[in-house]
Structure 1
Amino acid sequence: MEKVKEFTLLDFEDVRLFVNGEWVTAASNSYFTLTNPSTGEVVTKIPRGGKVEAKDAIEAASQAFQSWSKLSAYERAEYLLKLRDLMFEHEEELAAIMSTEMGKAFTEARGEVKYAASFLTWYAEEARRIYGETIPASVPNKRLTVIKQPVGVIAAITPWNFPLAMMTRKLGPALAAGCTGVVKPASQSPLSALAFAKLVEKAGIPNGVVNIVAGATREISDEIFENPIVKKISFTGSTEVGKTLVEKSAPQLKKLALELGGHAPFIVFEDADLEKAAEGALASKFRNAGQTCVCANRIYVHENVREEFTNILVDKVKSLKVGNSIDETTQIGPLVNKEGVKKVEEHVSDAVAKGAVVLHGGKALGEEGCFYEPTVLGNVTKDMLIMNEETFGPVAPITTFHSEEEVIKEANDTIYGLAAYLYTSNISRAVRVSESLNFGVIGLNDGLPGTAQAPFGGMNQSGYGREGGHQGIRDYLEEKFISLSL
């Protein structure tokens, strides 16, 4: 390990789950292995938690809720800030763990630690702003008020591509509101969540407030959705799985927030600053090796500037360094696994077979890891897989458009609606197009719009609910109306 010679947060020889403030193995006495996608080497083995551990965690969270929910907003905020400070203190190790288990370039992983910590900062502040209401009564002998209370025990099912940030984006508002919970991390990146649990322990957060159960996805998910103690679930993942979870939530009408798949258009108008647009495309498309739900999947460039923009982007892509994720000079790490590489290969092969031109890249790299060259495709057309499915890899497909009306129609021609990007120097066009795009997040001359203080979420089949901003705490609260007759 180049960056961190030894891990102090976790003993990789004895990794355990975190339930009710204790480090436990799985009742099944079974494990799953975690592989470094940069090298193909086994990192460690993880206890395969299941229904037993999920139930224990839910019950622990329920018990802890009785006292945690009674703390003042200021007391809960202090715990969140302690946790935030510990994340900064252990920033290098958290980044190295993330980079090792799922292949995020180390410098990006370090940035994610900061991003994850920002949600704790923000919601420590928002905890103090959970305001109620006094409503004018229609008769003089009544007083009408609305108070907000935490929903109870929540569950967070987090993705592998942002293992820390997606967890704090869910846990931050939950804990601030007074909820307690269970986190089910993705099997590709459980170590980040378990390292975070070590910080929960160090921060002195009471037992049972935060529980981490990795392992058998189906068993854990079934317990979360079937157990009536769990009142709200936040899930980040694919649209297909999200639809299944909607069905599973129906019998108990559980609160559900879904941040699902995306297929983001990236529009470059003829009046755009092409250098800035290319920088934005590079940041959006190739961050985390293209493995983000908001990355640019369809790049639409006005026909008058296609050649100039393409040349600028290709030159920038050529400079990207691919390598072992733990190396600080690496800009593009591996894909998370071999299946990810196969999907990228399928999309590129299909595009080339249908007439696309490989302007740079276009092939997998090496034998041991899961690397794919940063790739730019030209002459892309609507009938290609890459223009209709989320690629989740470092491939930028470029197509052209003729008019504003045409590109808006093409951009909106998708079942998804998570993020969209447009570059223009015309303020009127910027407003018109931003309002016309059917997406929950708009990057206007901005390739990286995500931030803790703003709401994040999708439209259409990209899910519902919002995380981040003051909006992100709403679903963790119930509004209770009290009518007092004097």
Structure 2
Amino acid sequence: MSQSLSPTAREPETVESIYPEIAMYIDGRWTDGSGSRREPIVNPATEEILGFVPLAEKSDLDAALAAAERGFVVWRDMPLDKRAHILHRAATLLRERSAEIARIMTMEQGKALPEARGELAGVATTLDWNCEEGLRAHGRIIPRGPGETLSVVREPVGPVAAFTPWNFPAGSPMRKIAASLSAGCSIVIKASEETPATACELVRCFEDAGLPGSVLNLVFGVPAEVSEHLIPSPIVRLVAFTGSVPVGKSLAAMAGAAMKPSMMELGGHAPVIVCPDVDPVAAARSSARAKFANAGQVCTSPSRFFVHESLFESFVDAFVLAAEQITVGNGLTTGVQMGPLVNERRLSSVHNLVEDARRRGAKVLTGGNRLPGPGFFYAPTVLTEVPMDAAVMTEEPFGPIVPIVPYADLDDALRLANSLPFGLAAYAFTHRADTVDVLTRGLQAGILSVNHAGGSVPQAPSGGFKESGFGREGGSEGLDGYLVTKRISHRMAI
């Protein structure tokens, strides 16, 4: 079947949203930068140009680095209670401004407005959580003999260079900003040029909360130019990145060449194992809600479905029904559940994966096509009879594509689930405790969700292993990468 846009998909809510002017924030000042280069910002639902983002020149990056170097000393030496007051105030401002920031996010990224509002709510909680963790980032005293004190202290690593993608325009930058500032670090962050306004609005909240201007610096630019200038700088002491595996490998190598630690949250291709003891309709509905969130543009999105053969037909039928009931359209429209893909490149990439699977013998049960009209809309798509060598089974789809494959034996399902070099997220549905144990020990992923497909929470760590990266964001582990450990041995007299 072929899906079309909802009848009201291009009739956004009547409340007018004004897309803000975009600027970089360097050393406490909003600036267009020292050059004249600009890139258009496109509304993915309408293909209209919203505005233009300035691209940093080397002199702008040098100014941001110099500010971060000064800002680190200022922020590191500020009393903790004062730092906490500023961060909590920024979180309060985020909540107060979340409705308008969410509308801006939907305009530039495309996700449905309820999803944008939920992202903003989570961002404020992330900041509060990290702030409190910063107050608990203490060391310890190790017992020694009389006249000697042996202690361990944890100190901020120094200025951070951070790079974030477009799919979570508030959530991804805030993870790095919150952890950096809560640990006592300054930061230069390059947010996405495709979704710059959301990042600007986040920074305004910190500015208005009283954060010293040199502590947080926001830049945009040609990605390779920015990373190649920031990462080798002796001022930068940590590199934090969220994005694709190939780019992550390049940045990690650059950081390694300068002996700098890095944190890499890279791509995945999350397997879903549906065991024979569950309700296939309930499992399909739960999976569909997660799969089509943000139009599938989520690194932890469930993306390879392995369903026990006894449930296969019922699961597939329920998933097709769920896909066909998704209301696709402009994310500002009331009732829309899935917005567009972020740009034409992403749209073409998703369609190429579907066509490759089709050529290899896969059946397209629903979707499989670009939706008519302006905007980068793609129909929720369900595939069966997908060969394992199809690109959609080996490459992260980052779109609303659902390949479903039957299995007969759990060991075989685990083999298929672990067959790729990724290890970010995995999902499973079962009611048997012994099966949960097998899956927990057997699935090679940094995040495992059983009987649900919920997202990340600030109280627990997120991250992957294998080619999905290293380091963790969130939880008590979230500040580890932003701190260094120092051993101090003090004898009272010689």
Q: Which range, TM-score by smaller chain? A: over 0.9
SS of the residue 1:365 aligns to = coil
Task: Select 1:5's aligned residue among 16, 30, 52.
Answer: 16
Equivalent residue, structure 2, for 1:332: 338
Give the letter for the 2:372 counterpart. Answer: G
TM-score under structure 2 length normalisation: 0.95
Equivalent residue, structure 2, for 1:75: 82
Task: Select 1:239's aligned residue among 237, 245, 267.
Answer: 245
Partners of 1:229 and 1:270 lie apart in 2 by 55
Whether 1:273 aligns to 2:279 is yes
Whether 1:123 aligns to 2:134 is no
Aligned length: 481
Whether 1:163 aligns to 2:169 is yes
SS of the residue 2:187 aligns to = strand
Partners of 2:286 and 2:423 lie apart in 1 by 19
Deviation at 1:191, TM superposition (A): 1.2
TM-aligned CA distance change 1:338 to 1:11, over 3 Å: closer
SS of the residue 1:28 aligns to = coil
Give the letter for the 2:31 counterpart. Answer: V
Deviation at 1:75, TM superposition (A): 2.0
List 4+ stretches of structure 1 deviating above 6 A: none
SS of the residue 1:230 aligns to = coil
Equivalent residue, structure 2, for 1:478: 484
Deviation at 1:171, TM superposition (A): 1.1
SS of the residue 2:456 aligns to = coil
Partners of 1:4 and 1:249 lie apart in 2 by 46
SS of the residue 1:371 aligns to = coil
Which moves more between the two structures, 90-99 or 410-419?
A: 90-99
Partners of 2:346 and 2:146 lie apart in 1 by 66
Partners of 2:14 and 2:379 lie apart in 1 by 24
Equivalent residue, structure 1, for 2:206: 200
* Contact 1:156-1:183 within 8 A present in 2 as well: yes
Whether 1:344 aligns to 2:350 is yes
- Identity over aligned residues, as a percent? 38
Equivalent residue, structure 2, for 1:97: 104
Equivalent residue, structure 1, for 2:5: none
* Contact 1:64-1:206 within 8 A present in 2 as well: yes
RMSD over aligned Cα atoms: 1.3
Whether 1:148 aligns to 2:154 is yes
Partners of 2:296 and 2:477 lie apart in 1 by 28
TM-score under structure 1 length normalisation: 0.97
Deviation at 1:3, TM superposition (A): 6.1
Matches within 5 A, 1:260-299: 260-299=266-305
* Contact 2:20-2:197 within 8 A present in 1 as well: no
Deviation at 1:4, TM superposition (A): 4.6
Equivalent residue, structure 1, for 2:319: 313
Equivalent residue, structure 2, for 1:187: 193
Whether 1:111 aligns to 2:118 is yes
* Contact 1:17-1:23 within 8 A present in 2 as well: yes
SS of the residue 1:323 aligns to = coil
Give the letter for the 1:43 counterpart. Answer: L
Deviation at 1:241, TM superposition (A): 0.5
SS of the residue 2:478 aligns to = helix
Structure 2 gap segments, 5+ residues each: 1-11
Equivalent residue, structure 1, for 2:51: 44
* Contact 2:327-2:335 within 8 A present in 1 as well: yes
Partners of 1:349 and 1:264 lie apart in 2 by 21
* Contact 1:74-1:127 within 8 A present in 2 as well: no
* Contact 2:288-2:323 within 8 A present in 1 as well: yes
Task: Select 1:226's aligned residue among 212, 224, 232.
Answer: 232
Deviation at 1:11, TM superposition (A): 3.5
SS of the residue 2:477 aligns to = helix
Partners of 2:14 and 2:345 lie apart in 1 by 28
Partners of 1:146 and 1:4 lie apart in 2 by 55
Equivalent residue, structure 1, for 2:424: 418
Partners of 1:344 and 1:164 lie apart in 2 by 24
Task: Select 2:61's aligned residue among 51, 54, 63.
Answer: 54
TM-aligned CA distance change 1:166 to 1:305, over 3 Å: same
Whether 1:86 aligns to 2:97 is no
* Contact 1:283-1:448 within 8 A present in 2 as well: no
Partners of 2:140 and 2:330 lie apart in 1 by 54
Give the letter for the 1:394 counterpart. Answer: P
Deviation at 1:284, TM superposition (A): 2.2
Partners of 1:366 and 1:51 lie apart in 2 by 42
Give the letter for the 1:453 counterpart. Answer: Q
Partners of 2:272 and 2:39 lie apart in 1 by 39
Give the letter for the 1:75 counterpart. Answer: K
SS of the residue 1:391 aligns to = coil
Partners of 1:280 and 1:89 lie apart in 2 by 31
Structure 1 gap segments, 5+ residues each: none
Give the letter for the 1:294 counterpart. Answer: T
Deviation at 1:190, TM superposition (A): 1.2
